[in-house]
Amino acid sequence: MEKKVSRSEEETMQVAAGFAQKVKVGDIICLQGELGSGKTHFVKGFVKAFGIDAEEVRSPTYTLINEYMGTPPVYHFDCYRIEDPVEAIEFGAEEYFYGNGVCVIEWPERIKSILPDTIQTIIFETTGKNSRTIIFEGSN
């Protein structure tokens, strides 16, 4: 387990960019933390490492998934509104899990039963108005 402290949105993005250097096609990254804990800013920094403009990143709360075409592509899920994992199966989530990109999933606990066995979990803890502890748990 590794921990990083972030004191700003920019620092969260820098932590994510560093983490992205270790990621490979097929990885599934699960982001856990309360609303406003920095998950989407993490994704912004993460996608920059793959040649994707961070300004393209929007939380896909209503669309459930955003596709960012980089090298490799990044598939950004937001499962906050999912009531049952069957909904994720219906929109084709499993195809993304075993596809040619990297999946980043916010609120993964809502679809836990359909996630592959090997995922990487990152936990965001709010420790102050602008500070966060980002905990990298590694593969599950």
Helix H segments across 21-69?
Answer: 39-48
Backbone φ and ψ for 55, nearest 5 degrees, come out as -65, -20
Q: Tokens 């592509």 map to which residue?
A: 73
Q: Which helix (H) or strand (E) holds 28?
A: strand 28-32
Share of the chain above pLDDT 70, in %: 94
Instruction: Identify the pLDDT of residue 65.
Output: 86
Least confident range from 22-36, 50-64, 96-110: namely 50-64
Instruction: Identify the pLDDT of residue 54.
Output: 82
Instruction: Identify the pLDDT of residue 58.
Output: 72
Assess whether pLDDT exceeds 80 at residue 62.
no
What sign results for the dihedral spanned by CA atoms 22, 2, 75, 132? negative
Instruction: Identify the pLDDT of residue 91.
Output: 86
Domain covering 2-139, topology: Rossmann fold (3.40.50)
Assess whether pLDDT exceeds 90 at residue 16.
yes
Give the span between the Cα atoms of 4 and 130, in whole angstroms. 14
**pLDDT confidence band for 56 (50 / 70 / 90):** confident
Mean pLDDT throughout 38-47?
93
Beta bridge mates, 4: 134
Assess whether pLDDT exceeds 90 at residue 63.
no
Number of H helices, E strands in the chain: 4, 7
Higher pLDDT, 120 or 53: 120
Assess whether pLDDT exceeds 90 at residue 121.
yes
The total of other beta-carbon atoms located within 10 Å of residue 104's CB is 30
Beta 120-126 vs 102-106: how paired, if at all?
A: unpaired
User: Using an 8 Å Cβ cutoff, are 108 and 78 in contact?
Assistant: no
Beta 132-139 vs 120-126: how paired, if at all?
A: antiparallel
Instruction: Identify the pLDDT of residue 35.
Output: 87
